[in-house]
């Protein structure tokens, strides 16, 4: 690691001080219309993200987990303004997006790496041109030099790779290009949406090591989205669990690994393959597939698959609140809210 | 021929074209009746090619196949025409990774299962439909009667994969080939399908070859594991032996990369580099360029196949010495 790399890494200045969360999201909502019929009228709404709130502290890594259709990727796209939000606030280092902060400024501070490393690179641009593109748009000086230095940093020799095209690279190499491209803007927050999921296991470990190094070197903050709990546990400081467009649980990684407070989180954890041939999984933790987000269940959206569901779960949506013994561990479940009216509320429920 | 379910000897598959790809290099593999074997490996290691060869699905004009493959004594490579049709779906059938692509979108799922039954068993349409209904119940599809007349797009991903399994098992094959059947599914659905396959395997007493890149999935489904790398089997043994005492450096690298019990923030022991391109036939150990324990002998020639225990083998010069943890 040479000193020049640090010098060319010029993130936006810190405006809010260390206590200000780098990113605050309040009541984020996005419904997608489903059109049909001869006239193409809106027939229904997919409730992709519904009332999602969370914070990301400076320098931490927040892992987001959940099954397909739970709104992980939509949340990520809303954060960098790739999809316009319906409602809600996105506050980057104390400045509100749309009021004090333009989309272009936001994208200097927040960058994203996607799952499909091939689809996200322009096939007609060389690697160097792709990595330098954002810096040129933002008017940063010496975009090519910047690109070459970052390629070097992510482990791609610029003399060998700068003039190649995406199809000439392997999946792991392309994902390194995508990481270099994101870093070319000197962002403070990088959103990694299933960034290692398409890679082979041995290559995945290499890229995870690279991400850890870059976080330390450049003081980055990550939002790491994945369906692989082992990967999320390895890289994250806190884990946020989503189900059908809502946040069901947010907790520090050790706390959630020790105790999953929401019944859905518990099912998700027990669905992990056992890795022990003498203790294989005997019972599937949940039956059936997740419901359709077009018409999500009323009340608590998990009540249709929950073993502990009672009347109150069908009617009243639970609120996200801290556990009595650990205020850092937030859960949206009537079982943990003594005043909810759930018959088993406040009791310890056996796993 | 013995009563082995599967006997592959010295299988070599080469694809010709603008560039030649040596996809499978001298693979031998055998299975007893009713065994479950996981073929574990990364993309390009030859797992899926092996399965396709077993069903005779590789394009004959561009493929050179050497060696032999026998399933229940049938010489697979000699089959053609009617005999091949009877064999596919009757003796051996396959569950694919993406059921949405493998099922026909313009026929109901009941029709598709019944068609296979009518072809193979020569029964009437109504009898075939009742077999289809029975199969949908066996794979635990709720309200199976009604689902018979659904089209694939009307079903969720997990349901479609259940239909795919029902279709594959409708003619009671002796060997089921499963090509990453749970990779496209969500975690909570994946475990349901794995447990279902385990149960059906026991009920029907069939053999299963389960291709996967996920060691955890292999542990859940199989008794035995064969690890593939660059078109070769580098290690084979019971699931316990592979998990507890993996001898090949590649197997150990894969186990470490699973992150199952890595401390948070600890540096990962990643295998450097990438798999070889397979444009030439390997003449020495294919893993040598990435191996942390490489020695001159590895580059001098193909590694010897060591057999530390019955039905256990490791293609590595160091297989005899258990590798001390680094």
pLDDT at A30 over 60: yes
Question: Pick from B146, B172, B198: which residue ends a domain?
Answer: B172
Distance between CA A44 and CA B211 in Å, rounded?
39
Q: Phi and psi for A313 in degrees, rounded to 5?
A: -65, -30
Residue ranges of domains in chain A: 3-236, 241-336
Measure the N-to-C terminal CA separation of chain A; round to a whole number of Å.
47
Distance between CA B219 and CA A132 in Å, rounded?
45
Q: Please tell me whether residues B11 and B142 are part of one structural domain.
A: no
The answer as to whether B181 is a domain residue is yes
Residue B2: the pLDDT is: 60
Fold of A3-236: Rossmann fold (3.40.50)
Q: Please tell me whether residues B239 and B325 are part of one structural domain.
A: yes
CA distance A228 to chain B (A): 8
Residues of A in contact with B257 (CB under 8 A): 201-202, 204-205
Q: Cβ contact (<8 Å) for A208 and B243?
A: no
Distance between CA A41 and CA B207 in Å, rounded?
51
Q: Cβ contact (<8 Å) for A67 and B187?
A: yes
Within 179-198 of B, beta carbons closer than 8 Å to A belong to 186-192, 194-195
Residue A208: the pLDDT is: 93
Q: Please tell me whether residues B230 and B308 are part of one structural domain.
A: yes
Q: Please tell me whether residues B322 and B201 are part of one structural domain.
A: yes
Whose CA is closest to A189, among A51, A328, A25? A25
The structural domain count of chain B equals: 2
The answer as to whether B97 is a domain residue is no
Question: Pick from B172, B189, B224: which residue ends a domain?
Answer: B172
Residue A350: the pLDDT is: 44
Q: Please tell me whether residues B138 and B193 are part of one structural domain.
A: no
Q: Cβ contact (<8 Å) for B264 and A267?
A: no
The answer as to whether B210 is a domain residue is yes
Instruction: Give me the residues paired with residue A29 across strands.
Output: A50, A87
A-B contacts (CB, under 8 Å): 123
**Domain that residue B37 falls in:** 1-91+173-261+274-279+288-326
Mean pLDDT rounded to a whole number for chain B = 91
DSSP state of B269: -
Say if B268 is an interface residue toward chain A (CB within 8 Å).
yes
Q: Cβ contact (<8 Å) for A201 and B262?
A: no
pLDDT at B197 over 90: yes
Whose CA is closest to B218, among B47, B6, B95, B39? B39
Name every residue in A having a CB less than 8 A away from some CB of B.
Answer: 67-68, 170, 172-173, 200-206, 208-209, 212, 227, 229-231, 233-235, 253, 267-268, 271-278, 280-290
Q: Cβ contact (<8 Å) for A276 and B157?
A: no
Average pLDDT of span B31-36? 94
Q: Please tell me whether residues B244 and B110 are part of one structural domain.
A: no
Cβ A274 vs Cβ B220: under 8 Å? yes
The answer as to whether B310 is a domain residue is yes
Average pLDDT of span A20-46? 89
Q: Please tell me whether residues B209 and B315 are part of one structural domain.
A: yes
Task: Report the residue of chain A nearest B162, measured CA to CA.
Answer: A288
pLDDT at B45 over 80: yes
pLDDT tens sequence across A75-107: 999 999 899 999 999 999 999 988 888 888 888
Average pLDDT of span B193-215? 94
Q: Please tell me whether residues B141 and B74 are part of one structural domain.
A: no
For an interface test with A, give the residue of B259, B264, B272, B286 to mutate (most A CBs within 10 A).
Answer: B259
pLDDT tens sequence across B105-119: 999 999 999 999 999
Average pLDDT of span B159-165? 94
Average pLDDT of span A236-248? 95
How confident is residue B125, by pLDDT bands cut at 50, 70 and 90?
Answer: very high
How confident is residue B265, by pLDDT bands cut at 50, 70 and 90?
Answer: confident
Cβ A241 vs Cβ A266: under 8 Å? no
pLDDT tens sequence across B289-325: 999 889 999 999 999 999 888 899 999 988 776 554 4
pLDDT tens sequence across A271-291: 988 888 888 888 888 887 888
Task: Report the residue of chain A nearest B262, measured CA to CA.
Answer: A234
Residue B266: the pLDDT is: 82
Neighbours of B203 (CB within 10 A): 10
The answer as to whether B98 is a domain residue is no
Say if B256 is an interface residue toward chain A (CB within 8 Å).
yes
Q: Please tell me whether residues B35 and B79 are part of one structural domain.
A: yes
pLDDT at A58 over 90: yes
Average pLDDT of span B240-252? 92
Looking up tokens 């890494």 gives A9
pLDDT at A1 over 50: no
Distance between CA A304 and CA A267 in Å, rounded?
14
How confident is residue B122, by pLDDT bands cut at 50, 70 and 90?
Answer: very high
The answer as to whether B267 is a domain residue is no
- The ipTM (two decimal places) reads 0.83
For an interface test with B, give the residue of A205, A252, A260, A286 to mutate (most B CBs within 10 A).
Answer: A205
Q: Please tell me whether residues B127 and B256 are part of one structural domain.
A: no
Residues of B in contact with A276 (CB under 8 A): 219, 243
Q: Please tell me whether residues B177 and B162 are part of one structural domain.
A: no
Residue A349: the pLDDT is: 52
Question: Pick from B172, B207, B223: which residue ends a domain?
Answer: B172
Q: Cβ contact (<8 Å) for B259 and A231?
A: yes
Q: Please tell me whether residues B179 and B315 are part of one structural domain.
A: yes
């Amino acid at each position: 690691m040479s000193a020049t790399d640090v010098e060319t890494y010029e993130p936006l200045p810190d405006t809010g001080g260390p206590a200000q969360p780098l990113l605050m999201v309040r009541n984020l909502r996005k419904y997608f219309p489903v059109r049909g019929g001869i006239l193409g009228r809106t027939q229904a709404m997919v409730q992709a993200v519904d009332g999602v709130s969370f914070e990301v502290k400076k320098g931490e890594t927040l892992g987001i987990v959940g099954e397909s259709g739970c709104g992980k990727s939509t949340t990520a796209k809303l954060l960098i303004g790739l999809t316009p939000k319906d409602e809600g606030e996105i506050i980057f280092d104390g400045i509100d997006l749309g009021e004090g902060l333009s989309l272009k400024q936001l994208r200097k501070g927040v960058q994203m790496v996607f799952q499909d490393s091939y689809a996200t690179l322009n096939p007609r641009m060389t690697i160097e041109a792709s990595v330098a593109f954002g810096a040129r748009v933002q008017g940063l000086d010496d975009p090519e030099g910047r690109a070459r230095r970052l390629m070097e940093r992510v482990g791609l020799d610029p003399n060998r790779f700068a003039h190649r095209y995406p199809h000439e690279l392997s999946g792991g190499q392309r994902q390194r290009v995508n990481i270099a491209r994101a870093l070319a803007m000197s962002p403070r927050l990088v959103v990694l949406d299933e960034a290692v999921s398409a890679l082979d296991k041995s290559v995945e470990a290499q890229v995870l090591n690279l991400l850890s190094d870059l976080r330390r070197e450049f003081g980055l903050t990550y939002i790491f989205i994945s369906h692989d709990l082992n990967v999320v546990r390895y890289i994250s400081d806190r884990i946020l669990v989503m189900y059908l467009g809502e946040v069901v649980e947010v907790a520090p990684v050790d706390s959630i690994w020790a105790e999953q407070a929401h019944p859905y989180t518990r099912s998700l954890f027990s669905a992990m393959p056992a890795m022990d041939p003498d203790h294989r999984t005997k019972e599937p933790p949940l039956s059936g597939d997740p419901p359709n987000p077009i018409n999500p269940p009323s009340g608590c959206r998990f009540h249709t698959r929950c073993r502990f569901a009672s009347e109150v779960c069908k009617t009243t949506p639970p609120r996200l609140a801290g556990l009595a013994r650990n205020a850092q561990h937030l859960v949206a479940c009537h079982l943990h809210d003594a005043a909810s009216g759930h018959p088993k509320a406040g009791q310890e429920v056996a796993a | 021929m013995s009563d082995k379910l599967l006997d592959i000897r010295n299988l070599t598959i080469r694809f010709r074209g603008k560039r030649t790809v040596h996809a499978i290099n001298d693979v031998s593999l055998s299975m007893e009746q009713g065994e479950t074997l996981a073929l574990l490996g990364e993309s390009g290691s030859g797992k899926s090619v092996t399965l396709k060869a077993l069903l005779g699905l590789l394009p004959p004009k561009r493929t050179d196949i050497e060696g032999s493959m026998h399933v229940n004594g049938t010489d697979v490579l000699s089959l053609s025409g009617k005999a091949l049709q009877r064999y596919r779906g009757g003796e051996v059938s396959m569950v694919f990774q993406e059921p949405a692509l493998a099922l026909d979108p313009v026929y109901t799922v009941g029709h598709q299962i019944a068609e296979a039954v009518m072809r193979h068993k020569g029964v009437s349409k109504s009898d075939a439909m009742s077999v289809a209904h029975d199969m949908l119940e066996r794979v635990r599809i709720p309200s199976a009667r009604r689902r018979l007349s659904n089209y694939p797009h009307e079903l969720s991903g997990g349901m479609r994969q259940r239909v795919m399994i029902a279709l594959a098992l409708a003619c009671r094959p002796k060997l089921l080939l499963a090509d990453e059947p749970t990779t496209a599914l969500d975690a909570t659905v994946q475990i349901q399908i794995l447990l279902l396959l385990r149960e059906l395997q026991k009920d029907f007493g069939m053999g299963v070859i389960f291709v996967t890149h996920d060691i955890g999935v292999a542990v859940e489904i199989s008794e035995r594991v064969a690890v593939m790398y660059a078109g070769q089997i580098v290690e084979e043994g019971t699931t316990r032996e592979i998990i507890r005492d993996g001898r090949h450096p590649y197997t150990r690298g894969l186990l470490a990369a699973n992150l199952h019990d890595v401390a948070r923030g600890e540096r990962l022991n990643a295998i450097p580099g990438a798999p070889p391109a397979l444009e030439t036939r390997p003449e020495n150990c294919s893993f040598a360029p990435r191996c942390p324990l490489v020695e001159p002998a590895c580059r001098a020639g193909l590694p010897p196949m060591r057999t530390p225990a019955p039905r256990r083998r490791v293609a590595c010069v160091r297989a005899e010495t258990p590798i001390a943890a680094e």
